[in-house]
A and B are shown apart, each in its own frame.
Chain A
Amino acid sequence: MSKLLIRNGRVIDPAVKFDGVADLLVEGDRIAGYGKNLDVAGAETFDASGMIVAPGFIDMHVHLREPGFEHSETIESGSRAAAAGGFTSVCCMPNTQPVNDSATVTSYIVERARRHAVVNVYPIGAITKGSAGEELASIGSMKRAGIVAVSDDGKPVMNARVMRRAMEMARSFGLPVIDHCEDLHLSAGGDMHEGFTSVKLGLRGIPACSEDVMVARDILLAEVTGARFHVAHISSKNSIAMVKHAKAMGLPITSEVCPHHFALSDEDIIPYDSNFKMKPPLRGRADVRAAIDGIVSGAIDAIATDHAPHPGSEKMQEFERCPFGILGLETAIGLSLEAFVEGGRIPLAKMVELYTVAPARILNLERGTLASGRPADVTIFDTSLVWKYDVNKSYSKSRNTPFHGREFRGGPVATMVNGRFVWRRDKE
């Protein structure tokens, strides 16, 4: 069996609260263990001196666009972007064409990923058929085919009764319900966060309360049903406060935040540049502060990118006609280090937790830790590496990002999936 020794890095394994310089041994596709000065005869070595060696990062919220929108992204291209961003696993949302609302589509994605993806791909199934919000999808069959959660991301279930039934179903199958919380009546026609900037630019607003009322509804439904409810891309201060409150009540509620929601506010938008258009929209400064505080306090459990590729022809339009969404996989680590670790807001181990053991627990994945015997998914990154993001070199098929040209301090160095390096900065 092939052996690889990742030597002399700072190994951070939040699942067991380990944080120290060590050597990590990989045998075949599994972790064999880590410790001081391991001396393994015949092992290949990777010198990780000065670097962080962490469990493979998991992005629990991406759009891979396949099947149906392969001009935007494919499972292969999205997985390569993930690897270059330091991610070893991604969870893909079901808003493909056809929608992933049946075991057939789930199996198709799993099979395509097995053949073409360089990282682990976990499909998320639709809550309702066609994500139309009316009739429940075949949640149990999809679970057998490989889904790890259900969500009607992008097309939230507006009918509270349907959502209640969905939570009951999901609970029966041990799956979390991930909701894109947005009251479509309140947000209708909106293009950016409702606030001073939207008023000034003459753009229609998406009020924060359109998110808040649905977070409130779903918390209440989770209490009634006992389901595990996960708030996707939380962005408003009131929603974060409600999640914090619900956790304090002991409810099994979790949430994720996207890097752009803690890195940018609506005041940072270059006017009418659709690279700043996404849902939820970039919120106000108080919301950005709340997102950062939410990470620090634990109200927010995970960081996820909501990687949403759109080709240039769709983003090169009048702002109000452009689709929502930006790329996220390749800039997430840089943005997170900048927002949380550089200023000392959270320890580095906490940041690693947000990308590893936290999403693994929410989704019941056997990954997210460096425990021996687990799949050898490893993310190696460097907190002092200075690099500039050039989206024209992105592995994604799309180019929609507000972070093109941004200089980062800290970024991924190498990504290992199931014992194999799938991306290395020095091989670029």
Chain B
Amino acid sequence: MATGLLGIEDTPRADIEAILARAKDFQPLQNQSNKRLDLLRGRMIVNLFYEASTRTRTSFEIAAKRLGADAVSITASGSSVSKGESLVDTLNTLAAMKPDAIVMRHAASGAPHFLSRYLPTPIINAGDGTHEHPTQALLDALTILDHRASLEDLRVAIIGDIVHSRVARSNIHLLSKFGADIVLCGPASLLPPNMAQLAPGVRLTNNMREAIDGVDVIMMLRVQLERQNESPFPASEYYPFYGLRVEHLHLAKPDVLVMHPGPINRGREIASDVADSQRSVILNQVENGIAVRMAVLERIMN
């Protein structure tokens, strides 16, 4: 099996630290006029997106180009995928074109894990169903490190649709490897009790105020209506009980960071003024996505 990046759960802490350190090297590039390095010149990356994505796909494309690699992006509509070709056949076809890595997003949990057992090409998971989104957790960690000396002993609240969130799972695994205290918060129908066993240092609450109490970081999650078979929680009840509003912020540490993986739904899980506030680092997350993905691509292809 080729070594790619399928998830944070199986990535050792030392590897995460190495990726984050390398991403820090790439951060200043954003503000230079020549943003291009030639570290991966001549390499080819295929971005295969079976699920709609703007920021992740663009971010991977930019990261590849800044490293001098060639990047081809394929989306599910307008390709053989929409003609009924199976996942295995599509990937075998692409692998026959000898890319150096495949970046893949898929609506089915485990799709990249399944493929990695059959394909020689390294696969980078850009989000699989409700399972993992490893580069999101890495860019979140980089964003926290822009404001904090270390990830150790942080208190982090992750709030919202936990059960359907790959961002939550990857962040839980990452933060736990650094010894953070993690509190997961949401209505019971979106927060299964087993979530507490996912990693050391995780606890659960259904009460938002309790979750935020004294935390360093608040990670809000998008309500994933497209992943829910039914409505596990009435939409009208969501914002009053689990939407992050200005009046919540004083419960946390004064320098709390407010994060969101995007796209944000203003007025559904987060108030507009909180998303735009001084405490929000949502746009820093987007910016850091490029540096983190450069570090990941470089590591996997070298």
**A199 CA to B194 CA, complexed, in Å:** 7
A201 touches B131 (CB 8 A): yes
Q: Which of B116-160 contact A (CB under 8 A)?
A: 128-132
A272 touches B110 (CB 8 A): yes
- Look across to chain A and name the residue whose beta carbon is closest to the beta carbon of B118: A316
Q: Is A298 an interface residue (CB 8 A)?
A: no
Q: How far is the CB of A314 from chain B (nearest CB, A)?
A: 10
**A189 CA to B129 CA, complexed, in Å:** 13
Q: Is B87 an interface residue (CB 8 A)?
A: yes
A199 touches B163 (CB 8 A): yes
Q: Which residues of A contact B87 (CB under 8 A)?
A: 317-318
Interface size of B as a range: 20 to 34
B197 touches A271 (CB 8 A): no
Q: Which of B64-88 contact A (CB under 8 A)?
A: 86-88
Q: Is B198 an interface residue (CB 8 A)?
A: yes
Q: Which residues of A contact B192 (CB under 8 A)?
A: 194, 199
Q: How far is the CB of A184 from chain B (nearest CB, A)?
A: 12
Q: How far is the CB of A194 from chain B (nearest CB, A)?
A: 8
- Look across to chain A and name the residue whose beta carbon is closest to the beta carbon of B195: A199
Q: Is B98 an interface residue (CB 8 A)?
A: no
A202 touches B86 (CB 8 A): no
What 1/0 mask marks residues of chain A from 232 to 246 whose CB sits below 8 Å from any chain B CB? Answer: 000000000000000
Among A195, A317, A318, A321, which residue has the most Cβ atoms of chain B within 10 A? Answer: A318
Q: Is A200 an interface residue (CB 8 A)?
A: yes
**A199 CA to B184 CA, complexed, in Å:** 14
Q: Is A46 an interface residue (CB 8 A)?
A: no
**A202 CA to B129 CA, complexed, in Å:** 7
Q: Which of A28-75 contact B (CB under 8 A)?
A: none
Q: Is B32 an interface residue (CB 8 A)?
A: no
Which residue in B88, B113, B163, B169 is a CB contact (below 8 Å) of A317?
B88
B194 touches A196 (CB 8 A): yes
Interface size of A as a range: 20 to 34
Q: Which residues of B contact A271 (CB under 8 A)?
A: 110, 113
Given A318-B87, A319-B114, does the pair A201, B109 have CB atoms closer than 8 Å?
yes
Q: Which residues of A contact B57 (CB under 8 A)?
A: none
Q: Which of A305-351 contact B (CB under 8 A)?
A: 313, 316-321
B198 touches A199 (CB 8 A): yes
Given A318-B114, A319-B114, does the pair A203, B109 have CB atoms closer than 8 Å?
yes
**A319 CA to B110 CA, complexed, in Å:** 7
Q: Which residues of B contact A203 (CB under 8 A)?
A: 109-110, 129-131
Q: How far is the CB of A91 from chain B (nearest CB, A)?
A: 33
B194 touches A318 (CB 8 A): no
**A316 CA to B114 CA, complexed, in Å:** 9
Q: Which residues of B contact A320 (CB under 8 A)?
A: 108-109, 129
Q: Is A160 an interface residue (CB 8 A)?
A: no
Q: How far is the CB of B280 from chain A (nearest CB, A)?
A: 27
Q: Is A188 an interface residue (CB 8 A)?
A: yes
Q: Which residues of B contact A201 (CB under 8 A)?
A: 109-110, 131
Q: Which residues of B contact A200 (CB under 8 A)?
A: 9, 169, 194, 198
Which residue in A189, A195, A196, A313 is a CB contact (below 8 Å) of B86?
A313
A202 touches B88 (CB 8 A): no
Q: Which residues of B contact A204 (CB under 8 A)?
A: 130, 229
Q: Is B106 an interface residue (CB 8 A)?
A: yes
Q: Is B286 an interface residue (CB 8 A)?
A: no
Q: Which of A183-208 contact B (CB under 8 A)?
A: 188-189, 194-196, 199-204
Q: Is B177 an interface residue (CB 8 A)?
A: no
Q: Which residues of A contact B114 (CB under 8 A)?
A: 272-273, 318-319
- Look across to chain A and name the residue whose beta carbon is closest to the beta carbon of B169: A202
Q: How far is the CB of A333 from chain B (nearest CB, A)?
A: 30
Q: List 12 A-B contacts (CB under 8 A).
A: A199-B195, A200-B194, A202-B109, A202-B110, A202-B132, A203-B109, A272-B111, A317-B87, A318-B108, A319-B109, A320-B109, A321-B108
- Residues of B in contact with A (beta carbons under 8 Å apart): 9, 86-88, 106, 108-111, 113-114, 128-132, 163, 166, 169, 192, 194-195, 197-198, 229-230
Give the 3 A-B residue pairs with the shortest CB-CB distance, closest first. Answer: A272-B110, A202-B131, A318-B108
